[in-house]
């Protein structure tokens, strides 16, 4: 399984369904008190993470609807509205948050399954106003589910990330970080990937480990203690990752 953007969208459904099931199983085991506890994201409780996922699912369903010829709605009105919805939603009781997340994810998966083949390349308005094909819903949803499952700080860790997800997301993360002027030069080498990826100007040290360990470190979900560096020394300091 490659989960490439050139694959037919139906190839994403098994991975999305499994990731959703794993997420909802974890959420079902959290007590009301645990849902109010801090997540790994600064300033956010687990409730904030779960509401963020629910509203993100709703936003992607809006994009699918627009691509099928429905109202030309953007993913979100703006960042302020998005933040307000998360803050307000996180104040509800735990059971309401659980039901909200399950309902939103179920509706989105049905929307993906029923989306017409000819409409996957239709450009839609993503957060920030950029026009990009609606097929971006597929990978962005898998990324949200997998990364934020770890952010719940429950039982799911980067070691649980599917290898196919970790390899592709590592490549995409390296590409994004390469555009940051704050990123020090280094070479990234994943055990499961024969390609070595350079970041920054100059060769820099070679940082190696599993794709999951490298991805967790680069995105601030790990301190990188499982990684090796050549020549030996301290790991480069990476800039904060987006929430």
Q: Which residue has the higher pLDDT, 129 or 40?
A: 40
* Number of Cβ atoms within 10 Å of the Cβ of 57: 26
Q: What per-residue confidence (pLDDT) applies to 3? A: 75
Average pLDDT, integer, range 122-140: 93
* 115 and 176 part of one domain: no
**Do residues 37 and 142 both lie within one domain?**
yes
User: 60 lies in which domain range?
Assistant: 9-156
Same domain, 86 and 140: yes
Does 71 share its domain with 109?
yes
Q: What percent of the chain has pLDDT over 70?
A: 98
> Both 93 and 197 in a single domain?
no
Q: Does residue 134 sit within a domain?
A: yes
Q: Per-residue pLDDT averaged across 12-32, rounded?
A: 97
Q: Are residues 82 and 49 in the same domain?
A: yes
Q: How confident is the model at residue 202 (pLDDT cuts 50, 70, 90)?
A: confident
- Burial of 226 (C-beta count, 10 Å sphere; 0-12/13-18/19+): middle
Q: Which residues contact 227 (CB under 8 A, 6 or more apart)?
A: 207, 208, 209, 213, 214, 217, 235
In a domain, 236, yes or no: no
- Tell me: do 25 and 72 sit in the same domain: yes
First to last CA, the chain: 28
Same domain, 71 and 15: yes
In terms of DSSP H, where are the helices of 133-219?
A: 136-151, 163-178, 211-218
Q: DSSP assignment, residue 238?
A: P
Q: Which of 93, 125, 156 is the last residue of a domain?
A: 156
List all residues 6 or more positions away from 46 whose beta carbon is below 8 Å from its beta carbon.
30, 34, 35, 36, 37, 38, 39, 152, 153, 154
The average pLDDT across 92-117 equals 97
Q: Is there a single domain that holds both residue 207 and residue 181? A: yes
**Same-domain pairing of 149 and 48:** yes
Same domain, 122 and 169: no
The domain boundary, picked from 106, 132, 156, lies at: 156
Identify the band that residue 2 occupies on the pLDDT scale cut at 50, 70 and 90.
low
Band (pLDDT 50/70/90 cuts) for residue 228 is very high
- Count structural domains, the chain: 2
* C-alpha to C-alpha distance for 95 and 101, rounded to whole angstroms: 10
Mean pLDDT for 93-99 is 98
Which of 122, 156, 190 finishes a domain? Answer: 156
pLDDT at 101: 98
Q: What is the pTM of this model?
A: 0.93
If pLDDT is split at 50, 70 and 90, which confidence band does 242 have? low
pLDDT tens for each residue of 41-70: 999 999 999 999 999 999 999 999 999 987
Mean pLDDT of the chain: 93
- Do residue 63 and residue 101 come from a single domain? yes
């Amino acid at each position: 399984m490659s989960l490439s953007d050139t694959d037919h969208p139906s190839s994403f459904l098994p991975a999305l369904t499994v990731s959703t099931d794993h997420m909802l199983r974890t959420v079902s085991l959290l007590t009301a008190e645990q849902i109010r506890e801090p997540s790994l994201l600064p300033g956010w409780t687990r409730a904030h993470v779960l509401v963020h996922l629910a509203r993100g699912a709703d936003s992607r369903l809006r994009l699918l609807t627009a691509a099928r010829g429905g109202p030309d709605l953007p993913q979100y009105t703006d960042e302020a509205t998005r933040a307000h919805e998360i803050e307000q939603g996180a104040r509800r009781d735990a059971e309401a948050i659980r039901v909200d997340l399950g309902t939103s994810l179920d509706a989105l998966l049905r929307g993906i399954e029923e989306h017409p083949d000819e409409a996957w390349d239709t450009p839609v308005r993503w957060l920030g106003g950029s026009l990009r094909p609606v097929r971006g819903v597929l990978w962005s949803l898998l990324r949200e589910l997998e990364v934020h499952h770890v952010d719940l700080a429950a039982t799911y860790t980067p070691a649980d990330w599917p290898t196919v997800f970790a390899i592709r997301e590592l490549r995409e993360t390296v590409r994004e970080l390469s555009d940051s002027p704050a990123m020090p030069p280094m070479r990234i080498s994943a055990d499961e990937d024969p390609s070595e990826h350079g970041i920054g100007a100059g060769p820099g040290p070679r940082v190696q480990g599993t794709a999951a360990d490298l991805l967790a470190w680069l995105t601030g979900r790990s301190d990188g203690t499982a990684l090796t560096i050549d020549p030996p020394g301290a790991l480069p300091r990476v800039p904060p990752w987006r929430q």
